[in-house]
A and B are shown apart, each in its own frame.
Chain A
Amino acid sequence: MRIILIGLAVAAVASGVSAIIPPYTGFLTAQLAVIVIAVASLNLLGNVAGMLSLASAAFMGLGGYGVLIFLTIYGLPLIVSIPLTLIIGFVFGWIMGLIAVRLSGISLAIVTFGFVQVFQVFVKQGGAFSGDGYGLILPPVEILGIGPLTPRIISLTCVFTAAMVLVFTLALTRSRIGRAWFAIKENPIAAEMQGVNLLSMRAKAFATSGAMASLAGILQAFLLGITNPSLYTVDASISHLSMMVVGGSSGSVAGSVLGPVVLYFLPEFFHLGSYREILYGGALLLTLALAPQGLAGASKYLGRYLVSTSRNWMRR
């Protein structure tokens, strides 16, 4: 339980900080939070359970379109729409997982890519459900009589949710399920011998990751106020994937934050504009060449190095 309390505290501080910063920075931070959740979902699937997926954009789209369809077309209240959408993300993830369990590496990536393409067809040809291909618009929403959702509240919610998602992911990777996922990634046979059902455990990883990415999609829809087919192309998936790689391969929570901060937040914050792409490629290449463990691995190494050198220095 302690980890949850610490998480709540961190989330509260993070939201507090994002409440006092200028609106644009607040918006950027909220976008960052959304991306962090998406990258964390890939990180859990890829670096923890060992499965490569290009479907994060489609699952985000599922979240964004799902929640807006429930709100606008079915007129369901917010409190029902969000859990329903998350369940849809989970179920689609599970199905994806069942298709994917027998595949690995590049064939798995291609199957997940196929899912993104199918989703693109839906958002362009889905009739009323897809806003006739132009996307859906967020209706005015009241939360439990408190009042209308303001951009500030949405931004705060994004940051708070991202922090909580990270805490829950951390708790999950340090649990029996996380251990089983790491074991499946490294040595499926040994994992099976300890009683892990490979099929269901892989499906669970996909489902969890799917629900997480859908959550990111829901938040993004609220943040932007719209959904649009161009938000959920494979380009988005690939950028999430590169953030995951730059973040680190150890499956650590820090990696899910560091990757998006370096590849999304810093370029936007400093208005790097078209230099962004260069930074993107450069950061990817540099990480792979200099720190194959990613930024999280490098900072861990740096920390250990600093501790040991300072210890040696003190001894002298």
Chain B
Amino acid sequence: MAMLTLTDISLSFGGVKALSNMNLAIEPGTLHGLVGPNGAGKTTAMNVISGLVRPNTGRMAFKGEAFRPKPHKLASQGLSRTFQASAIIESLDALQNVMFGGYSSTRSGILSCSLRMPGAVKEERAIRARAEEVLEQVGYRGSKEARTADLSTWQRRQVEIARALMPNPQLLLLDEPAAGLTAGEIETLKILMLNLRDQGKGRNSILLIEHNVPLVFTLCDTVTAMASGRDLAHGTPGEVRGHPEVINSYLGEGTRRKVRTIAKIEVPLTEKPVVLALDKVSAGYGATTVLHGITMQVRLGETVALFGPNGAGKSTLLNTIIGQRPTISGTVHYQGKRIDHLSVQKIVRSGIGIVPQGRAVLERQSVEDNLLVSSTGLRLSKREWRERLDEIFAQFQSLAHRRKSLGASLSGGERQMLAIAKVLVRRPSVLLLDEPSIGLAPTIVDEVQRLVADLAAKGLTVIIGEQSVDWVLPVATRAYAIAAGQVVAEGSPSALSNADTLADRYLGRQPSSHCGQ
């Protein structure tokens, strides 16, 4: 008997069908993968299971009984989840965050807690011991008293998973646990998930939502593929992978990587003027220096890729260019003028635009208002503004349909497009993209790739900081490899990525292609 079943679940938000007749069955003791392109409804499905939203129609059953989830009862019912966006409590240290996961198993009241009565002390001790055990289980090596702001992405993920494990759930829901991790960390995560499944001795299951489809297919016992709010296929990874509808909707193995509209560049780039020049730039956060003497030059119309693993300093570099991070030493020149001492506002107004990693979309504003906010300081007349909007919507067809929709209702892919549109509406001459592919399905990444190629063809200078090398290679004209805050190599993108040793050491690519591990 399945542990959790969803039968014909439908749900719509204000006219948009998020789920339509969705079915799902998770068997006990399995690692179950849920895959699907952006906007397929994966996170909505997880929100339905965890009781955050109530479906309009359909039935759910957990361990054979009808299941009407309530968020605050979930942990005691045997379900636990992590969130796509970090849900770490920043006010608490690492250990306290995990201890918070044991909340539902404790009962002490206000008086008992504030007077540290024996009951409360006993509970606290038990929770602490359990938290330390769980941190051990997830392989956490950092300091237990560390402020969460000082933790790495992987350590934060470990803390979040540990917190979800505290109530000893029978069903663990993991929402994008691999997002933003390096290849090495993903390997560790894989082993962790398999261990968790095996330690459950055939009784505990894990539901995994992940954009990293190869990861799901190599790891999971069973997979459900979703598209536009419903389930397309269930079965073993092999079965689902071979399912024609799935291939069409999501993987698109046959269709993917066909479009290669790369700008034809007539003038050799070396003759174009240098737009952006960095000379021995060092920068960092507080006491820690992240960038150590970065020197680079970007010429007009170039598309430059910054490769490097997590924490190499790509984001810091882009943030330093835009003035978000002050430089410690070195200079940044833009169109011959020194800009490293200028404020973000002045730099943005001078024509550099950045699409930050978090996709800075205003959730409570409509798509149009989001764009309007970004036009601050342009002093456009009403007519000019309409023209710009039309121009943007001509370029971003998917956004044109959703002009009046709130930012919060957009899918991950639409958000990324809006984030880029918000920068383009200012008609910048240099565009900085920070990890634009994070958390996006391959088809959307293709769309981003096409967009970048188009923009480059129109003469825009683009700098992309990116971990996943594949999609950038065909569009980039030049690349820098960055590791530990230094430029370790510069050259043509393909030359850089073909240097296997370099890729291994710095780019964190999967080792499958060239060595028999």
Known contacts A175-B124, A194-B163, A195-B76; is-contact A183 B100 (Cβ 8 Å): yes
Q: Smallest distance from the beta carbon of A3 to chain B beta carbons, Å?
A: 6
B108 in the interface (beta carbon within 8 A)? yes
Tally the A-B contacts, defined by beta carbons under 8 Å.
98
B1 in the interface (beta carbon within 8 A)? no
Q: Smallest distance from the beta carbon of B45 to chain A beta carbons, Å?
A: 16
Chain B residue numbers with a CB within 8 Å of A3 are 116
Known contacts A193-B80, A197-B72; is-contact A186 B90 (Cβ 8 Å): yes
Chain B residue numbers with a CB within 8 Å of A169 are 114
Type the 1/0 row for A163-180, where 1 means its CB is closer than 8 Å to any CB of B.
000001101101111111
- Cα separation A1 to B89 with both chains bound (whole Å): 26
Type the 1/0 row for A182-200, where 1 means its CB is closer than 8 Å to any CB of B.
1101110110111111100
A250 in the interface (beta carbon within 8 A)? yes
Closest A residue to B115 by CB, please name it. A168
B73 in the interface (beta carbon within 8 A)? yes
A150 in the interface (beta carbon within 8 A)? no
Known contacts A171-B114, A172-B110, A187-B89; is-contact A179 B287 (Cβ 8 Å): no
Chain B residue numbers with a CB within 8 Å of A251 are 91
- Cα separation A193 to B72 with both chains bound (whole Å): 5
Decide if A195 touches B91 in the complex (CB within 8 Å): no
Decide if A175 touches B114 in the complex (CB within 8 Å): yes
- Cα separation A193 to B51 with both chains bound (whole Å): 9
- Cα separation A111 to B344 with both chains bound (whole Å): 39
Known contacts A1-B121, A179-B99; is-contact A172 B114 (Cβ 8 Å): yes
Decide if B113 touches A177 in the complex (CB within 8 Å): yes
A204 in the interface (beta carbon within 8 A)? yes
A208 in the interface (beta carbon within 8 A)? yes
Decide if B52 touches A176 in the complex (CB within 8 Å): no
Decide if B103 touches A172 in the complex (CB within 8 Å): no
Of the candidates A183, A185, A194, which one forms a contact with B104 in the assembled complex, judged by CB atoms under 8 Å apart?
Answer: A194
- Cα separation A177 to B110 with both chains bound (whole Å): 7
- Cα separation A46 to B481 with both chains bound (whole Å): 46
Q: Smallest distance from the beta carbon of B369 to chain A beta carbons, Å?
A: 21
B74 in the interface (beta carbon within 8 A)? yes
- Cα separation A308 to B113 with both chains bound (whole Å): 35
Decide if B114 touches A168 in the complex (CB within 8 Å): yes
Type the 1/0 row for B45-79, where 1 means its CB is closer than 8 Å to any CB of A.
00000101000000000000000000111111000
Decide if B110 touches A193 in the complex (CB within 8 Å): no
Decide if A175 touches B87 in the complex (CB within 8 Å): no
Decide if A183 touches B89 in the complex (CB within 8 Å): yes
A4 in the interface (beta carbon within 8 A)? yes
Decide if A194 touches B103 in the complex (CB within 8 Å): yes
Chain B residue numbers with a CB within 8 Å of A172 are 110, 113-114
B441 in the interface (beta carbon within 8 A)? no
Chain A residue numbers with a CB within 8 Å of B393 are none
Type the 1/0 row for B87-103, where 1 means its CB is closer than 8 Å to any CB of A.
10111100010011111
Chain A residue numbers with a CB within 8 Å of B121 are 1
Of the candidates A1, A179, A180, A192, which one forms a contact with B71 in the assembled complex, judged by CB atoms under 8 Å apart?
Answer: A192
B106 in the interface (beta carbon within 8 A)? yes
Of the candidates B90, B106, B114, B116, which one forms a contact with A1 in the assembled complex, judged by CB atoms under 8 Å apart?
Answer: B116
Decide if B90 touches A194 in the complex (CB within 8 Å): no
Chain B residue numbers with a CB within 8 Å of A187 are 87, 89
Of the candidates A176, A182, A183, A185, which one forms a contact with B106 in the assembled complex, judged by CB atoms under 8 Å apart?
Answer: A176
Q: Which residues does A use to contact B, with CB under 8 Å?
A: 1, 3-4, 168-169, 171-172, 174-180, 182-183, 185-187, 189-190, 192-198, 204, 208, 250-251, 308
CB-defined A-B contacts under 8 Å, sample of 5: A3-B116, A171-B115, A180-B103, A185-B91, A194-B75
